[in-house]
Copies of this chain bind each other. A is one copy, B any other.
């Protein structure tokens, strides 16, 4: 079961990013091997044609996976992304984007998760990512 609450996760993620806008990430739900993250709309994420930028969606995928790993392991700051694969499927309208991460594996050294992303209020997927993180071995994790 998760070791951190949504509030604790949101604080932990915000602390690490000194320049971050206050409204950058909202942790909305934390369950066993699952986290839901909201990326509030911000005009710096817009692209020509009025859609959300690809890099903003990639960052959402990375943050959702990071949050899911921290939720299960506790505050292991040294979890780092080793790979990310993303497919973009639809162009979302300007608005909040929801990212849902499901951890598929939480091993001794490696975590694997998938992240689905959709616009708030529209179930159609806008992107799907598979993300891997290198995690500290058990003896170096918080109790």
Which residues of A95-143 are within 8 A (CB) of B? 104-105, 107, 109-110, 112, 114, 125, 128, 130, 132, 134
Q: Taking the complex as formed, is A7 at the interface, i.e. its CB lies under 8 A from any CB of chain B? A: no
A135-B14 Cα distance, complex, nearest whole Å: 35
Q: State which of B55, B81, B87, B104 has its C-beta within 8 Å of the C-beta of A83.
A: B87
Q: Which residues of B contact A54 (CB under 8 A)?
A: 62, 80-81, 84
Q: Using A18-B43, A43-B19 as known contacts, say yes or no to A84 and B58 having CB atoms under 8 A apart.
A: yes
Q: Which residues of B contact A114 (CB under 8 A)?
A: 114, 128
Known A80-B91, A104-B128, A128-B130; further 18 A-B contacts with Cβ < 8 A: A18-B46, A49-B77, A49-B78, A54-B62, A54-B81, A58-B58, A58-B59, A82-B88, A83-B85, A83-B132, A84-B84, A84-B85, A87-B112, A87-B132, A105-B125, A109-B109, A110-B134, A112-B128
